[in-house]
Structure 1
């Protein structure tokens, strides 16, 4: 699938930032970034799925997650341990400490990776060629959804002297913000939030403020050092970067107005969410917001028996999945096949497992 040059440059830029965040490492276990994994199986059709693929040949699958410090990076380690349990003996999952919500669907669609973690919303955009995607990646298929809940939050240093974005926009207050690089889902949604208030990143600069484009780790350091005051992004409960930031700097969690939440839910496709109180130091009340959920997805190239085995491994090891990260506590076998949690069609191999397990009609 060819993507127009402008989109490619955006996605490459986003991936380059992710690579720098993890020390330039391309893949775990030494697997070259551009190599396709061996997904061939001696079992035909779905025959390997019912017995976990034991009659098939071992497979090695590359899973694109997110950079170090992200929840998805932690998920990758969990999936690397759990997923081979229902695949042929000797199978391996290589979790890559790179990628992101906007680039992962493209990399799975074009075969660079066989598996990816994504958001239901950005997967939907990629599948249909919507939003920043200029052409559809309609070979994407879901394996499991509703892995977690991601909440969009905005936090500002308490000593910054402001806590209201509407006041910033109305009075042209010069603020110093950290935002993820262009092409990243966090950057796109932060732009949408600023647009709601009637301002842009360029306006911030014009009013004497500062906009620093950086990955999560650098953004945390920028705020800790006082270089910037504010960041707006999606997080999970137990998010490592926000936990570190809130534990070392006095931060104020901003409550979005209900009208804004309703707009993002009704018009932009997000889900209404509430971040429970006391998830982070200084966050002593519930935060009403909007959000997305993470998915595990593949392409139509993944054999049916392999997709079957992955779905089976997830649903038969729910407690081990949940133990991998605080945010994965949401995951259940019953919700894994809910189409709302994936945003894209279900892979037929995974669908067969869910039907046989009585989870899908």
Structure 2
């Protein structure tokens, strides 16, 4: 590890939450905030691991405060509001935010959003129902107008948006399901477990990383089956910024077969106003401390610097400081 020599020079272009600290430089530590998601989620664990190593690449006395808020959509909002200096998000939502699309349409284009590094983990977008639910595909759900009772995550979660788009791919809306006599219930992960184990709901839709604790708990206690992403689903979702992913493998969450899925690999985001040296240092910390981060979360084992530096896995422009570092190190 190494600490960078920061220049004690302030320019008018330095703005944002970390701007003043970045201007001060020298021996003055940086105080940064990092958006993740609620405690107990994969992003909170990953974010905490990254926050532990980043200060060693900043001036003495620097700290990174992990904000247990965000999610694929919410992290972008926290940056707009100036609450976070950098954080975890999905390339899908980052692209939507930059273009002012879908859930960000009312907010307009967020042109300042930038990538630091990508390809941090694996996320699928599964929807599963109990084994005795009389449908096996989204096409059957539509044809039979089945009154599905489905749990999805609360506001701020990209997974909830993805579930809605998955249904839209088959000309199904949340309103359709409710009109057929079903329910769409937004709830936190703990309530999802209770609702499905108790028989109050029969399905769950939410993004999942390998070993995801909520998916693991539910599928270990209730027999579930996954509705596969067919060509219609995959084409519709990839056109909207989701990425083709390796199949959810047989045995993961007790799946009986390999299940085709789309999803994403998480990334670190920031805004163009973050000081170049800070952006470079955060990126360096993630690459140099791979072993430490992976020891905290095995989801990080897919990380490779070249993939993390690839436009394919971030879908928005890199921050100038991050791009300079990645290029200098031969990763771009």
Q: How far off its partner does 1:256 sit?
A: 2.3
Q: Of the candidates 273, 279, 304, which is equivalent to residue 245 of structure 2?
A: 273
User: Are residues 1:39 and 2:10 paired?
Assistant: no
Structure-2 separation of matches of 1:122 and 1:250: 32
Indicate the residue corresponding to 2:12 in structure 1: none
SS at structure 2 position matched to 1:197: coil
Question: Please, which runs of 5 or more residues in structure 1 have no aligned partner?
Answer: 1-34, 44-54
Indicate the residue corresponding to 1:241 in structure 2: 214
Is the CA contact (8 Å cut-off) linking 2:123 and 2:266 kept in structure 1? yes
Q: How far off its partner does 1:155 sit?
A: 0.9
Structure-2 separation of matches of 1:279 and 1:322: 22
Q: Of the candidates 226, 242, 246, which is equivalent to residue 253 of structure 1?
A: 226
Please say which of residues 331-340 and 269-278 is displaced more in the overlay. Answer: 269-278
Q: How far off its partner does 1:91 sit?
A: 1.1
Structure-2 separation of matches of 1:250 and 1:331: 32
The change in CA–CA distance for 1:207 and 1:306 in structure 2 (over 3 A counts) is: same
The change in CA–CA distance for 1:182 and 1:59 in structure 2 (over 3 A counts) is: closer
User: Are residues 1:90 and 2:39 paired?
Assistant: no
Indicate the residue corresponding to 1:329 in structure 2: 301
Indicate the residue corresponding to 1:3 in structure 2: none
Is the CA contact (8 Å cut-off) linking 1:79 and 1:93 kept in structure 2? no
Alignment of 1:8-157 (within 5 A): 36=17, 39-43=21-25, 55-133=26-104, 134=106, 135-157=108-130
Q: How far off its partner does 1:56 sit?
A: 4.6
TM-score normalised over the length of structure 1 = 0.81
Is the CA contact (8 Å cut-off) linking 1:102 and 1:185 kept in structure 2? yes
Q: How far off its partner does 1:210 sit?
A: 1.9
Alignment of 1:150-299 (within 5 A): 150-182=123-155, 184-265=157-238, 267-278=239-250, 280-299=252-271
Q: How far off its partner does 1:213 sit?
A: 1.4
Q: How far off its partner does 1:181 sit?
A: 3.2
User: Are residues 1:310 and 2:282 paired?
Assistant: yes
Is the CA contact (8 Å cut-off) linking 2:115 and 2:318 kept in structure 1? yes
Cα displacement string for residues 234-258 of structure 1 (whole angstroms, at most 9, x for unaligned residues) = 2111111101111111111222223
Structure-2 separation of matches of 1:359 and 1:199: 42
Structure-1 separation of matches of 2:212 and 2:311: 26
The change in CA–CA distance for 1:42 and 1:175 in structure 2 (over 3 A counts) is: closer
Structure-2 separation of matches of 1:235 and 1:63: 21
SS at structure 1 position matched to 2:72: coil
